[in-house]
Amino acid sequence: MDPVLVLLPSPLLPALVWHPVARRLASAGWSVAEVANADALESQPSASSQPSTSSQPCTAEQVRARFLDAIPTDRDAILIPHSNAGLYVPGLVAERRVAGYVFVDAGLPPAAGQVRLAPEEFADFLAAKADRDGMLPPWTRWWDEDLSGLFPSDEVRERVERGQPSMPLSYFAGSLAVPPGWDDRPGAYLGFGSTYAAERAAAAARGWPTAVLDGQHLHQLVDPDRVAAEIQALLAQWPALTP
């Protein structure tokens, strides 16, 4: 099997958060695909530091369509979702030739039913952040704590924050259908720290190989060499899979 690795970013972050890992996987011989507008981190920053709003999805259907556009229709794909992108995997499996998936510090849907786009207990937190038009600030403005550890440099932080969308509160009130049987393919889970410990345990309960790196939620930016290596180590535990 010669699959393409499809790197899916959180809908709350620009696609460029995967770009350093994508380059390393490609250098290792893998075919790699990213979603549209995966601007290189090496590109020059623009004069504006305001978040981009052009061509940004703001509904679950638009996010799904963006992900589907990134997945080839004529060959096997291995999905590598980060964060909230993990919730979309069951629906993508139903429409593309998905051979497996490696969830990276990501939401892990149940075996069947529905999955909420935000936990019910998170609703009050989000509602307090929305403006009078029901729009939320970009993700990095949700938090009061210092987020500098999420980024390898101020320059990278600026580029990521400039590419963040402002999502409507209504987005997080929705849910996605989870078709039964979506998780019967080879799977794996890579966590950063303990935030997604429950999801990692659920993956292990499915019999998937798992690993954890000591890092924060955007560790793929901070240490892309190690993240790329761990993804490949997890893939190596599947039979008959080579770049």
According to CATH, the superfamily of the domain at 4-235 is Alpha/Beta hydrolase fold, catalytic domain (3.40.50.1820)
**The pLDDT of residue 46:** 36
Torsion-angle region of residue 19: left (phi > 0), alpha (psi -120 to 50) or beta?
alpha
How far CA 7 is from CA of 23, 59, 85, 130, 155, in Å, comes to 11, 20, 10, 29, 22
- Answer whether residue 53 shows pLDDT above 60: no
Whether 8 and 35 have beta carbons less than 8 Å apart is answered as yes
pLDDT greater than 50 at residue 43:
no
Give the confidence band of 47 by pLDDT, cuts at 50, 70, 90: very low
Across the range 167-193, mean pLDDT stands at: 96
pLDDT of 44 over the 80 cut:
no
- pLDDT band at residue 1 under the 50/70/90 scheme: low
pLDDT of residue 236: 94
What average pLDDT does this structure show over 102-121? 95
* Per-residue model confidence (pLDDT) at position 55: 52
Q: Whose CA is closest to 39, among 69, 21, 20, 15?
A: 15
- Three-class DSSP category at 237: coil
What sign does the CA torsion over 38, 185, 183, 203 have? negative
For the ranges 55-59, 81-85, 165-169, 197-201, the lowest mean pLDDT is seen at 55-59
Chain segment 163-173, per-residue pLDDT in tens: 999 999 999 99
Cross-strand pairs, 32: 5
Domain extents in the chain: 4-235
